[in-house]
Chain A
Amino acid sequence: MAKITLDNIRHSYYPNPQRDEDFALKRVALDWADGGAYALLGPSGCGKTTLLNLISGLLVPSEGRILFDGRDVSTASPEQRNIAQVFQFPVIYDTMTVYDNLAFPLRNRGVPEAEVDKRVREIAEMLELTATLRNRASGLTADGKQKISLGRGLVRADVNVIMFDEPLTVIDPHLKWQLRSKLKELHQKIRRTMIYVTHDQTEALTFADQVVVMNNGEVVQTGTPVELFERPMHTFVGHFIGSPGMNLLPCEVKDGKASVAGTVIQTVNAAAVKDAPGKLEIGVRPEFVSFAKTGLPVDIVKVADAGRFRIVETRGGGGSIKLLVKEGDAIPEGSAHLSFDPARTQIYRDGWMVGAAP
């Protein structure tokens, strides 16, 4: 297990990077404690897979250093870093049995057979693979194969960090949540550092203690799922996390009070807004919007049923606002008023939350 430090990493796939756009990763500085569950979350092309490959040693950073427990491993190969990686599609050795697949990393390192047997059975038990140990690995289903991939990483006792690169991509949707819970369960049981790369915010938020949200090669915000949800520092985080994402409305601020299309809205940080150039917006999540007798006047456009709640789309205040209504609660017809939870409504300037250090 190791503490991982990313010291001002920049990476480019070009041999002579000149401009900012040449860099796949613009500047990353992160500190991760031992034994935590971390997620790298972001859309395709944001640099998360590049970052993962830099940590695992499959890539050497163009600039900056990577430290494991204070030791510089920037140029060390994957074997030297003692990492394990689970890929998007299951990587197994077809000709071997499940048992031999799990034993492979240990045998390669010259571990005595008795010890190998003990470890393999322990891990197989944890992953519920014991019944299939004697079968050929190629005969298992996709999620069974992914478990083998995972097992090969867990079987080595000296693994510093286990990395997951969108591991649920090929798993059947109705089995996805099972494997997801299993990964979470595993982490809660063995407490090894795990880094999980994904574009699916549900996967990231349910798995990780700390989520790193990335966009365009940069880290936008790092925090616990709750922090990211309740206090997004950037509108991108507000949009990307939460389904549906945060509502954004253009606003004005005068005398320390924010208003949208003439209606005054209570916010957390209206007082901190100085007179400065930049586009001002109010951001509030659909979960914190509700129907009220007074407030922002809107027209109801559409009601979508999501089972345990309904998503109501309204139009007003210069934009579209979505809110969630619980199963069984009434929804007014035609037009209504909305109120926003003052503690959960923030003002953003040019995308960044006002008052927060960028």
Chain B
Amino acid sequence: MNKTVNQKAWFFVLPVFLMVAFNALIPLMTVVNYSVQESFGNNEFFWSGVGWFEQVLRSERFHAALLRQILFTSLVLLIQIPLGLVIALAMPRSGPWVSVCLVLMALPLLIPWNVVGAMWNIFALPDIGLLGKMINSLGIPYNYTRQPISAWFTTVLMDVWHWTSLVVLLCYAGLVSIPDAYYQAAKVDGAKPWAVFRYIQLPKLKHVLTIAILLRFMDSFMIYSEVVVLTGGGPGNSTTFLSIDLVKMAIGQFDLGPAAAMSIVYFLIILLASWLFFTLMMQDEGR
């Protein structure tokens, strides 16, 4: 259905438009600017075309960071989505415990991200951290500041603790909106709980799961604060994901050109992956 055209509406949008332009578009343009130019200081810039892009795309360092990022995001998605769904299925849909559960689920999402990193930093310390001590006392050698495996373990665990709640809340909202009649019909048909999940709940959760996966993909691909506070990207560069590597390059080494180019590439990767994924999940809708 077409909406009526109302020219005056544009005035309402103008302030937001200006804000977005100032905060997002202009910095973006600045980055694009830097990515195609070279400088030797003194604010003198030379055009370098796709030079930086080539350099970035060919560099070993970029490939390594990209691979680490992909591995991290895959692990995180593989754990959080099913786990979130299972918890949402287990949550009560009516009664006094509903609000309690919802509040509990919301709590991890309310904590500032660098505080999350700091919390886990201490929690996982091998000698005085509760988690670290417990694991070590079980005989498993665990030290996230020294061993890459431990660092990965801790980072993934921290992200799961932090963000699974989001998946839970989204899935819960989706589950609650399924009319009772479907469950009743399944009962009458003699369907077992697994069949109810597979044939009723999962199909009806398709949209919600798509949003959950999309959000978690984008956020985890851009993860920064928590990891930096927890491991600093280490030990060595074992947990140096794309954003951390980018910051090291741009601010640590002040290599503006490559950093800018990498930013653009980074942005395009996320954009492309999100679009592909969304299109794939939504391709049934047109019918």
Query: A-side interface residues toward B, CB under 8 Å?
Result: 56, 58, 77-79, 83-85, 87-89, 91, 93-96, 104-105, 108-109, 139, 149, 152-153
- Whether B3 sits at the interface, judged by CB under 8 Å, is no
Question: Distance in Å from the Cβ of A144 to the closest Cβ of chain B?
Answer: 15
A and B contact pairs by CB, cutoff 8 A, 19 listed: A56-B188, A58-B184, A77-B187, A78-B188, A79-B187, A79-B190, A87-B184, A91-B181, A91-B184, A91-B185, A93-B199, A93-B200, A94-B203, A94-B204, A95-B199, A105-B190, A108-B191, A109-B190, A149-B185
Task: Considering the complex, give the chain A residue whose CB is closest to the CB of B185.
Answer: A91
Task: Considering the complex, give the chain A residue whose CB is closest to the CB of B182.
Answer: A91
- Whether B86 sits at the interface, judged by CB under 8 Å, is no
B188 in contact with A89 (CB, 8 Å): no
- Whether B60 sits at the interface, judged by CB under 8 Å, is no
8 pairs of A and B residues whose beta carbons are closest in the complex: A91-B185, A108-B190, A93-B199, A105-B189, A87-B181, A79-B190, A78-B188, A94-B203
Residues of B within 8 A of A89 (CB): 179, 181
Residues of B within 8 A of A104 (CB): 189, 191, 199
CA–CA, A104 and B182, complex, Å: 14
Task: Considering the complex, give the chain B residue whose CB is closest to the CB of A93.
Answer: B199
Residues of B within 8 A of A139 (CB): 287
- Whether B8 sits at the interface, judged by CB under 8 Å, is no
CA–CA, A77 and B184, complex, Å: 11
Task: Considering the complex, give the chain B residue whose CB is closest to the CB of A79.
Answer: B190
Residues of B within 8 A of A153 (CB): 188
Interfacial residues of chain B within 178-208, with CB under 8 A of chain A in the complex: 179, 181-182, 184-185, 187-192, 195, 199-200, 203-204
CA–CA, A25 and B182, complex, Å: 25
A95 in contact with B203 (CB, 8 Å): yes
Residues of A within 8 A of B204 (CB): 94
Supplied contacts A105-B189, A108-B195, A149-B185, 13 more A-B pairs, CB within 8 Å: A79-B188, A87-B181, A88-B181, A89-B179, A91-B181, A91-B184, A93-B203, A95-B199, A104-B189, A108-B189, A108-B190, A109-B190, A153-B188
Residues of B within 8 A of A96 (CB): 199
CA–CA, A315 and B105, complex, Å: 68
Question: Distance in Å from the Cβ of A51 to the closest Cβ of chain B?
Answer: 15
Task: Considering the complex, give the chain A residue whose CB is closest to the CB of B284.
Answer: A138
Residues of B within 8 A of A91 (CB): 181-182, 184-185
CA–CA, A285 and B195, complex, Å: 53
CA–CA, A84 and B181, complex, Å: 13
CA–CA, A149 and B184, complex, Å: 12
Do A78 and B187 contact each other (CB < 8 Å), given the known contacts A93-B199, A96-B199?
Answer: yes
Do A85 and B199 contact each other (CB < 8 Å), given the known contacts A105-B189, A152-B189?
Answer: no
CA–CA, A104 and B198, complex, Å: 13
CA–CA, A225 and B207, complex, Å: 48
Residues of B within 8 A of A79 (CB): 187-188, 190
Task: Considering the complex, give the chain B residue whose CB is closest to the CB of A92.
Answer: B185
CA–CA, A95 and B182, complex, Å: 14
CA–CA, A259 and B95, complex, Å: 60
Question: Distance in Å from the Cβ of A195 to the closest Cβ of chain B?
Answer: 14
CA–CA, A326 and B82, complex, Å: 68
Task: Considering the complex, give the chain A residue whose CB is closest to the CB of B188.
Answer: A78
Residues of B within 8 A of A93 (CB): 199-200, 203
Task: Considering the complex, give the chain B residue whose CB is closest to the CB of A77.
Answer: B187
